[in-house]
Amino acid sequence: MSSSERPGPNGGPLDAAPAGWRQLVLPVRSLRFWVIQGAILLVIAVHSVVLESFDGRDIDGIPAPLTSSLMLIPVLYAALSYGAIGAFATASWSIALFAVHWLVIHRHPLTSEHLWIELVGLLVLGASGVVVGRRVDIAREARRRAEQALEQAAVAQERFRDLFEHQPSPVVITDRDDVVVEMNEAAEKLLGRSAHGLPLAAVTGLGSHELVAQESPVAMSGPDGQVHHYVASTHSFGDGPRVVTQIVLADVSREHRRREVQRALTGRVLQIQEQERLHLSRELHDDALQQLTHLARTLDELSRDPDLPAELARTAGQSVDIAKTTATALRLLIRGLRPPVLDDLGLVPALRQLTEETGRRTDLRVQFRVVGRIARAPVDVELAAYRIAQEALTNVLKHAEARQVIVEVTFGRQITLEIHDDGRGFAASARSGQGLGLVGARERAGSVGATLSVSSREGVGTSVRVVLPLPRLAPPDRQ
């Protein structure tokens, strides 16, 4: 039974009301709840009979909070069963019965000490029940959310499995040794069920890296017995011994139509990724970063308080430094996800900021040049150019062993972006392998109708050049 179908404390559906109101509904339909209230009434009645049996005699020898202490058992039981509202109702009922007892039934004078002890005991009784009940409510809400998350994860997994199995293109998953561990229906029809457990190279003649590196489509005998041509794309996920690679073989026999479909799908995936990046960066900036900044200011004011002990002031000062360092790291993370300057000011300021930050964080000398009259391009074009430059600089830092890199953007009838480094480069025979890091850049370029080329000479350096469309000239950027 799903969480939305489980009965709540009053017998109704758990999710029939908003989460904030569900905890305020009395469990009036629960027989056990009324049994608890009846038990409290019985205890009060016995309490009254016992006190009246003394008939005016001294009752100083009877422990004053004895009865209110006994009430703690049903109140805590109600808290564990029905949460804060059940505990509050039960404690209120107990206090009301005590009030009736002392004001109406009990006929003997009370000492102030006795009365204060009873009042304090009742207050402790109510507070204990509400605190425990609140913790129970929080635990139940956390469990409910966890169950919902598990259900959503199960649904997502089922949908992913359904998408995987019914994907029209053959999809093969290999382990870190490039051995086939799983295939969808289309892949089984293409490669045969016997491909399970075999190296991918033994099945297709090429490994996953070689399949992707092929500049021309790979010819294979299709399920219909005819020769089809496929191009491969891969995605690796996991880490260490659990890393797996997903290889998607796209049939490009009908080259033009397939190219358009692939471009649309790739553009959509990148669009969703960028939307998520933008959403996450805004959430981090508007929530986490603001709170962290406020915390740093508060701690700074606290550390300057002359009445604060020296040791606490020093600790507060250290905490200020930690908060500021964390805020700086968070700003860098936000810029990496989606730099606000790109949306606000355009491509040139965003690239200038990217190159300056890269130069500050590394020993690499980064030069940025702008040629021509600056013009704003469509958002998707500027975003593609920025991501390509970002990927190219990352590759330079990881692989090129360069000392200098030049980023140049030229405006004219088109936007030309070129990233050139003086690193070790690579030979023509190894070009495809070295270019694996630019697969995403090629996909981005293709999604906006741009062309990307890579040229490299061993020992001289590498140049990445992308030409992006500029449909119309916008007013020059004055920033």
pLDDT value at position 344?
82
pLDDT value at position 260?
58
| Closest CA relative to residue 77, chosen from 136, 144, 139 | 136
Provide the domain limits for residue 180.
Answer: 171-253
Share of the chain above pLDDT 70, in %: 78
Give the span between the Cα atoms of 248 and 163, in whole angstroms. 13
pLDDT above 70 (res 164) = yes
- Same domain assignment for residues 360 and 424: yes
The least confident of 61-75, 371-385, 417-431 is 61-75
Q: How far is CA 141 from the centre of its chain?
A: 20
- What pLDDT, in 10s, does the model give residues 113-147? 666 777 777 787 778 888 888 888 888 888 889 99
- Would the CA dihedral through 89, 90, 95, 101 be positive or negative? positive
Q: How many domains does one find in the chain?
A: 4
pLDDT value at position 425?
80
The model carries a pTM of: 0.41
Question: Is residue 408 packed enough to be buried (19+ CB in 10 Å), middle (13-18) or exposed (0-12)?
Answer: middle
Inside any domain, residue 405? yes
Inside any domain, residue 55? yes
- Same domain assignment for residues 150 and 188: no
The overall average pLDDT reported for the chain is 77
pLDDT value at position 419?
92
Q: How far is CA 221 from the centre of its chain?
A: 43
Domain C-terminal end among 117, 136, 162: 162
Q: What is the mean pLDDT of residues 213-234?
A: 75
CB distance 317 to 298 below 8 Å: no
More confident residue, 17 or 84: 84
| Closest CA relative to residue 460, chosen from 400, 398, 389 | 400
∠ CA(314), CA(315), CA(321), 5° rounding? 90
Backbone conformation region of residue 246, classed left if phi is above 0, alpha if psi is from -120 to 50, else beta: beta
pLDDT value at position 112?
66
Binning pLDDT at 50, 70 and 90, where does residue 23 land? low
pLDDT value at position 85?
84
Inside any domain, residue 195? yes
- Same domain assignment for residues 197 and 307: no
pLDDT above 90 (res 52) = no
pLDDT above 80 (res 318) = yes
Domain C-terminal end among 313, 337, 361: 337
The top-scoring range by mean pLDDT among 58-62, 231-235, 411-415 is: 411-415
Q: How far is CA 226 from the centre of its chain?
A: 46
- What pLDDT, in 10s, does the model give residues 397-415? 888 888 899 999 999 889 9
Q: Measured between alpha carbons, how far is residue 7 from residues 1, 145, 478 in Å?
A: 10, 16, 63
Residue written as token pair 């490994």? 207
- Would the CA dihedral through 432, 434, 435, 436 be positive or negative? positive
- Same domain assignment for residues 331 and 347: no
pLDDT value at position 296?
82
Q: Write the CATH number for 417.
A: 3.30.565.10
